[in-house]
Amino acid sequence: MSSGNTAVATCFAESQLSDQLVIVGGMSVWSLCEHHMLPMNLQVAAGYVPDGEVVGLSKFGRIAQHIAGRLQVQERFTRQLAEHLADVIGRKDVAVAVRGAHLCMSMRGVRREDARTTTVHTGGRFATDPVLNHQFVTLAAAQWNAA
């Protein structure tokens, strides 16, 4: 999985863990909107279900930061982060929710400083299990509401 500056995820064997929802939130990254060349701040929450191993928690933020380091749109960032995490765990059981504040909306045009855009990408069990999906979305949104 490593090439160039790609963040390498460390996984740790935990044979007794399965069917436990893990969400890493509170991650804030900055990227540049490829359409307007203005910054956007992305609040990220990512979840997965371990199956015999866990991902090193600090890697979530590093992977998000790496993907945000190029010109982006929030929708693509969300999908790329989910796909990268799915590659790391070797399964599609990943969900990513991103809440973005875009300076192109607050500084120019409509000038809506409080506007936020939310994107969610779900795969595997998160896409097929409505209870798991609801748990993830509820817990991810709670982190944003607490801030």
Give the residue numbers marked as catalytic: 33-36, 74, 102, 104
- Taking the CA of residue 45 as centre, how many other CA atoms within 13 Å lie in the half-sphere pointing to its CB? 22
Phi first, then psi: what are they for 69, rounded to 5°? -75, 5
**If you compute the radius of gyration of the chain from its CA atoms, what whole number of angstroms results?**
16
Cβ(49)–Cβ(19) below 8 Å: yes
What amino acid occupies position 114?
D
